[in-house]
Amino acid sequence: MCGGIAVRNAAVFSPCPDASVLFDPVLDKETVLNGKAGEIVIAYAIRRVLMLIPVLIGMSIITFSIVHAIPGSPAQAILGDRANPEAVKQLNESMGLNDPLYVQYFRYLGNVLQGDLGTSYKTGRPILDEIGPYLAATVELAVMAMIIAVFFGVNLGILSAWRQNSAIDYTSMVIALIGVSMPIFWLGLLEQWVFAQELGWLPSNGRIDPRMTFESITHFYFIDALIQGDFYALQDAFNHIWLPAIALGTIPMAIIARMTRSSMLEVMRSDYIRTARAKGVGEVLIVYKHALKNAFIPILTVFGLQMGLLLGGAVLTETIFSWPGIGRYLYDAIVSRDYPVIQSGILVIATIFVLINLIVDLLYAYVDPRIQYGKE
């Protein structure tokens, strides 16, 4: 059951991200008009938020166990491979690494609940202070990549479904197939060669020109540039983000295009679409006003999953374009065996991932008013 989601008289059905769909005669139009549906939505949202707690605890246990199963000692990583064994032993003792794993875990969990993600072994700085700029860079990149993916993916899918079995349809699907099949690292290198080296249109790495005097406030460069009214910095930030965003958004764009085509084809065969055509409603209005809203329901599922994957899987793109995001931050932590950073970084990404899925789940009610949230 879709966490209590009930769909009635739906012209198009597609699986929900977190549950199945049921037909509930209790939640009728009168219920909605009486305002009870709003209370049900709030109750459902609260239940879903509470469900996040065991999910995140489970994720923290898995991450903690995997990290501590990695060969090598954090103390050895801090002191170096040639460190005196006695010094390594003393450091392990002072850091509490000789305690049983469950003791170490509950100590770690208690610190997290107090807002303390720990201290980096490599830099000696609090992780909460370090992770902010890296996370902001990745979120900024992922959002731009998703904007590109949704804009081009949805329009390619609509165009393909609108002109089914035409040259436009075949061309669009070939583009989508190439997008799904193309490795991110290869596309990134190709972009750098063509647009940065050969044409010189866009910079090949970094978030902003290092020669530019720019003070970051929120760590989100677009927001900072707008706050400060620095439109040169805003343009430079846009120039730097285009290539990595296109590389990162190509696969989601292709997936969204194929999903949109499939969903639009199903919706366009519905009775209400035929009725609209019989009444002389324009084709553009039918497609973008009537059909797309129903077709967008399964696309929302893809959006939620892909947005989470973009946040957690941007390490290749960030490495190729020297983008100072959380992917590179975690990669460096893995290389240096900085266990607190690894644990905290994965936990932060997992938290964002489940929150995105929660938001997408709740957006179903907005996209399709026939969807209501009831009891399981």
**Neighbouring C-beta atoms of residue 328, cutoff 10 Å:** 20
Separation CA 81–CA 127 (nearest Å): 24
Q: What is the pLDDT of residue 4?
A: 40
Q: What is the pLDDT of residue 7?
A: 40
Separation CA 141–CA 249 (nearest Å): 9
- Answer whether 125's CB lies under 8 Å from 333's CB: no
Hey, is 52 helix, strand or coil? helix
Hey, is 9 helix, strand or coil? coil
Q: Which class would CATH give 127-335? A: mainly alpha
Separation CA 175–CA 58 (nearest Å): 39
Q: Which residues of the chain have pLDDT under 70?
A: 1-41, 72, 81, 365-376
Instruction: Copy the structure tokens of residue 29.
Output: 């139009």
Strand segments, DSSP code E, in the chain are 5-7, 371-373
DSSP string, 146-194: HHHHHHHHHHHHHHHHHTTTSHHHHHHHHHHHHHHHS-HHHHHHHHIII
- Answer whether 188's CB lies under 8 Å from 243's CB: yes
Q: What is the pLDDT of residue 245?
A: 93
Q: What backbone torsions phi and psi does residue 247 show, to the nearest 5 degrees?
A: -60, -45
The DSSP output letter for 35 is T
Instruction: Copy the structure tokens of residue 82.
Output: 């040639």
The DSSP output letter for 314 is -
Separation CA 177–CA 103 (nearest Å): 50
Tell me whether residue 14 is exposed, middle or buried, using C-beta atoms within 10 angstroms of its C-beta: 0 to 12, 13 to 18, 19 or more. buried
Hey, is 336 helix, strand or coil? coil
Beta bridge partners of 126: 119
- Answer whether 323's CB lies under 8 Å from 207's CB: yes
pLDDT tens per residue, range 193-205 = 999 888 889 998 8
Q: What is the pLDDT of residue 206?
A: 86
Q: What is the pLDDT of residue 141?
A: 93
pLDDT tens per residue, range 362-375 = 777 666 555 555 44
Which among 177, 171, 145, 146 has a CA at the least distance from the CA of 159? 171
Q: What is the pLDDT of residue 47?
A: 79
Q: What is the pLDDT of residue 40?
A: 66
Q: What is the pLDDT of residue 373?
A: 52
Separation CA 356–CA 301 (nearest Å): 10
Each domain of the chain, given as residue ranges in start order, spans 127-335
Q: Taking phi first (over 0 means left), then psi (-120 to 50 degrees means alpha), and beta for anything else, what does residue 205 get?
A: beta
Total count of residues recorded for the chain? 376
Residue at 357: amino acid letter: N
